[in-house]
Chains A and B, each alone.
Chain A
Amino acid sequence: MIRLEGVTKRYRSAAGVRVALDAVDLSVARGQVFGVVGRSGAGKSTLIRTINRLETPDAGKVFVGDQEITAMKPAELRAARRRIGMIFQHFNLLNAKTIAENVAFPLQLEGRPAAEIERRTAELLDQLGLAEHAKKHPAQLSGGQKQRVGIARALACGPDVLLCDEATSALDPETTDEILGLLDGLNRDLGLTIVLITHQMEVVRRVCDRVAVLKDGRLVEEGATADVFLHPKSPVTRAMLAEGEGGETHDASVVPAGGRLARLTFRGGSTYAPELSRVARTTGVDYSILSGRISRIRGEPYGQMVVAFTGGDADAAVAQLTGRGVVVEAL
């Protein structure tokens, strides 16, 4: 659905040339929720803006659907942008307009007939639970409500793609959760392809099918969210994950003499199965859990823990666990 090929963007300033994006290749399939994470200044914002060409790349190509965004004339680009919704960290609503007028705005820009605008606006306000706020102005709404208006506005022209620029970064955790639930629903119900950028790993964990990690304008890691989160390869990814969870806090000095330290990763159904105790019974190993977390990534349950095995047949225990689909990494 979306393809970036060798996208490069440089900013020239008095201080010299800064490379914001360095030959980024990326591909997002139709119906996917794709997350791009990175620290501030990594180029996330520039990256998402090249998709609707709010930023024009210095080199490389951007395709949305089967159209090349980077090759379009201004009028074609404006038409293409109507098929690409976008929501923002600070909502970017028009303060002078009411909520209903904000939602109707993209339809008016497109020049749709008044009756259709009215019908579609009412439909969207209803769908997003904003009907009672139709005549209010943005200043009278909470952050979460404003982002709902932003989403309604982004959906007005019936886009295939939704771009989310740090859409939950200005919201409290509860509201973030509510907005993510909404995005998740839009993805499932409308088959909307979503690209979101964020520095919040929790956001990716909750809604993204795939994730790419950006550092200094380069793509350092990309894969299915569960793979990247459970087996991160790059130091940046590890560091960002550790910050999100308070890090792995086990203390190696507590491992008994002759003990073996291992990180176990359970996924899917095995997460809730009593695998560890079964293996312990048959192999005679004792285990102590030093740190761990059981949670979900994009709805799929997983457990990851650091354990110390002592006594019994540790090799057999590892073999049995591996045989049951648990990933065992010796530490």
Chain B
Amino acid sequence: MEFFVNIDWPEILRATRDTLLMLGGAMVLTVVFGVPLGVLLYLSGKGRLAANPVLNGVLSLVVNILRSVPFIILLIVMLPVTVLLVGTSLGVAGAIPPLVVGAAPFYARLVETALREVDKGVVEATQAMGGSTFQIVTRALLPEAMPGIIAGATVTAIALVSYTAMAGVVGAGGLGDLAIRFGYQRFQTDVMVVTVVLLLVLVQILQMIGDRLVARVSHR
């Protein structure tokens, strides 16, 4: 078999674009929902600023349920909700809701962990200066936890790359979809190789950007 004969480069380009769109869209919304959720998980925790066992218990349960459902199942269960939200379950738009529901709880836990790593003394000092809870979160906790929050975003973005591949199964398109339909189902090994290499490059780039950003905001 001659290599690269099956490769339809415009198709690859379109798939790459779709993957990046899914990733970008899902990542933005994951941060939008994940950070506040992580902050709430942290604040409502035992001994924290707004300790609330009931709220913490409920949030924690919801997060754990969403995290324990295998993503492939979540994709299918989410279908009606997705149609309701974006009008279609297909393509980039149809992939984003399940991606966000899958990734945001995961990211929220990473944000919560990063916040817990912040020295309690910093919170105490900000309180002693007359800071309100909102100021403590936005001016002290989040900036202090930024290296962990960005590192968590990197991990989440990379997890999202593999989620987008799975989303291909329900008609989302993208590189993963290409790999499955052509590389696997039609035995076009070259398509498989090219898509996997592209995904690998994407992951490498994400990790590199993440590491650089962490280094920039880290002052320990």
Contact = CB atoms under 8 A, between A and B. Distances in A.
A327 B181 CA distance: 99
A88 to B, nearest CB: 6
B139 interface: yes
A95 B220 CA distance: 6
B219 interface: yes
B130 A137 contact: no
Interface string B197-220: 000000000000000000001011
Given A86-B125, A92-B124, A105 B130 contact: no
A296 interface: no
B135 A109 contact: yes
Contact of A96 (B124, B126, B135, B146): B146
Interface stretch (A15-23, A74-82, A117-125, A231-239): A74-82
Interface string B121-132: 110111111111
A214 interface: no
For chain B, give the interface size range: 20 to 34
B124 A54 contact: yes
A67 to B, nearest CB: 14
B125 A109 contact: no
Looking at B122, B124, B130, B219, the one whose CB has the most chain A CB atoms below 10 A away is B130
Contact of B130 (A90, A91, A106, A163): A106
Nearest to A110: B130
B79 interface: no
A178 to B, nearest CB: 22
Given A92-B121, A108-B139, A54 B127 contact: yes
B170 interface: no
A97 interface: yes
Nearest to B136: A109
A110 B126 CA distance: 11
B47 to A, nearest CB: 11
Nearest to B217: A96
A52 interface: yes
A54 B128 contact: yes
Nearest to A163: B128
B143 to A, nearest CB: 4
Contacts of B124: 54, 88, 92
Contacts of B11: none
Interface in A79-118: 79-82, 84, 86, 88, 90-97, 105-106, 108-110
Contact of A105 (B127, B129, B219): B129
Looking at B129, B130, B139, B220, the one whose CB has the most chain A CB atoms below 10 A away is B129
A139 interface: yes
B177 interface: no
B128 A139 contact: no
A182 to B, nearest CB: 19
Interface in B91-114: none
Contacts of A54: 124, 127-128
A163 B124 CA distance: 13
A97 B130 contact: no
Nearest to B140: A94
Given A78-B131, A92-B119, A96-B144, A137 B126 contact: no
B144 A79 contact: no
Contacts of A137: 219
Given A81-B128, A92-B122, A92-B124, A109 B220 contact: no
Contacts of A92: 119, 121-122, 124-125
Looking at B121, B125, B217, the one whose CB has the most chain A CB atoms below 10 A away is B125
B119 A82 contact: no
B139 A105 contact: yes
Interface in A220-252: none
Contact of A95 (B131, B135, B219): B219
A90 B123 CA distance: 13
Contacts of A105: 126, 129, 139
A166 to B, nearest CB: 12
A54 B129 CA distance: 11
Given A92-B122, A94-B122, A109 B139 contact: yes
A54 B121 CA distance: 11
A96 B219 contact: yes
| Top-3 shortest CB links A-B | A92-B121, A92-B125, A81-B130
Interface of B: 119, 121-122, 124-132, 135, 139-140, 143-144, 146, 217, 219-220
Interface of A: 52, 54, 74, 78-82, 84, 86, 88, 90-97, 105-106, 108-110, 137-139, 153, 157, 163
5 contacts: A52-B128, A86-B125, A94-B143, A95-B219, A157-B129
Given A78-B130, A81-B129, A91-B121, 12 more contacts: A54-B128, A90-B121, A92-B121, A93-B122, A94-B144, A96-B146, A105-B126, A105-B139, A106-B129, A137-B219, A157-B130, A163-B128
